[in-house]
C-alpha cells in the first residue's frame, strides 16, 4: 500500500478497503493533527476532530473528485470541522473585576529571549494574529500549500488569500518588532 498514490488509496477506501484507510491515515494523520491544533489551540480537541475528519474521509471517499490533491481535500475537511467546533463553543467574557484581578505575568522582551528560542517567540506572535491570518500562514509556510490550494481549502478567492497573507506577514513583523526583534536576528 505504501507505493500507491493518495488518489489510488482514496479510490480503494471508496470501495471499503480498510488497509487503504490505514495507509491514508498513516500518511496524513500528523499533518492533519498539527493543522487542527493550530486552529483550535487544544490538542485534546484536535484529536477528537481528527477522528471526525478521518471518519468523513472514510464515508466521503467515493465523492472525492480529484480536483485538488488528497492532502488539500483532507485539510479542507479538517478546516470545516475546526471552524464548526469553534462556532459551537460558547465564549463567555470575564467579569471586569475578575479580569482586573488577573496578574500580568508577561515577561519583558529581554527575559523572553533569554527563556525561549526563536521558534517559541514566533509561535507566540503567530498566536496573536487573527484566525484568518494565522490560518493562511499555517497553510502556506507549515503545510507548504500554494495560494490556489489555500484558496480551495479556505473557500475564498486566491486574491483574498494573497491579501490575507500580506497583512498576516505585516502583523507578524509588527508583533516581532514590538518584542524588540528585527528581521535580521539569527
> What pLDDT score was predicted for residue 113?
56
Note the pLDDT of residue 121. Answer: 72
Alpha-carbon gap, residue 82 to 16, rounded angstroms = 26
Which pTM was predicted?
0.57
pLDDT in tens, 57-110: 999 999 988 888 999 999 999 999 999 988 886 655 656 666 666 666 666 666
Residue positions counted in the chain: 186
Residues near 131 by beta carbon (within 8 Å), at least 6 away in sequence: 39, 86
Question: Quick one: cell of 119?
Answer: 521558534
Q: What is the mean pLDDT of residues 173-177?
A: 84
Q: Could you give the domains of the chain?
A: 6-88 (1.10.1740.10), 105-178 (1.10.10.10)
Amino acid at each position: 500500500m505504501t507505493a500507491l498514490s493518495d488518489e489510488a488509496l482514496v479510490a480503494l477506501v471508496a470501495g471499503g478497503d480498510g488497509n487503504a484507510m490505514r495507509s491514508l491515515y498513516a500518511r496524513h494523520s500528523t499533518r492533519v493533527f498539527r493543522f487542527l491544533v493550530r486552529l483550535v489551540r487544544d490538542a485534546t480537541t484536535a484529536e477528537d476532530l481528527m477522528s471526525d475528519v478521518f471518519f468523513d474521509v472514510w464515508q466521503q471517499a467515493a465523492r472525492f473528485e480529484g480536483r485538488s490533491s488528497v492532502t488539500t481535500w483532507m485539510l479542507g475537511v479538517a478546516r470545516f470541522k475546526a471552524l464548526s467546533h469553534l462556532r459551537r463553543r460558547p465564549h463567555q467574557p470575564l467579569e471586569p473585576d475578575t479580569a482586573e484581578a488577573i496578574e500580568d505575568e508577561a515577561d519583558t522582551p529581554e527575559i523572553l529571549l533569554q527563556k525561549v528560542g526563536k521558534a517559541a517567540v514566533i509561535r507566540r506572535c503567530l498566536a496573536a494574529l487573527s484566525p484568518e491570518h494565522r490560518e493562511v500562514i499555517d497553510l502556506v509556510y507549515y503545510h507548504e500549500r500554494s495560494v490556489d490550494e489555500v484558496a480551495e481549502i479556505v473557500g475564498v478567492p486566491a486574491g483574498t488569500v494573497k491579501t490575507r497573507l500580506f497583512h498576516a506577514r505585516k502583523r507578524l513583523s509588527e508583533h516581532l518588532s514590538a518584542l524588540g526583534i528585527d528581521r535580521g536576528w539569527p
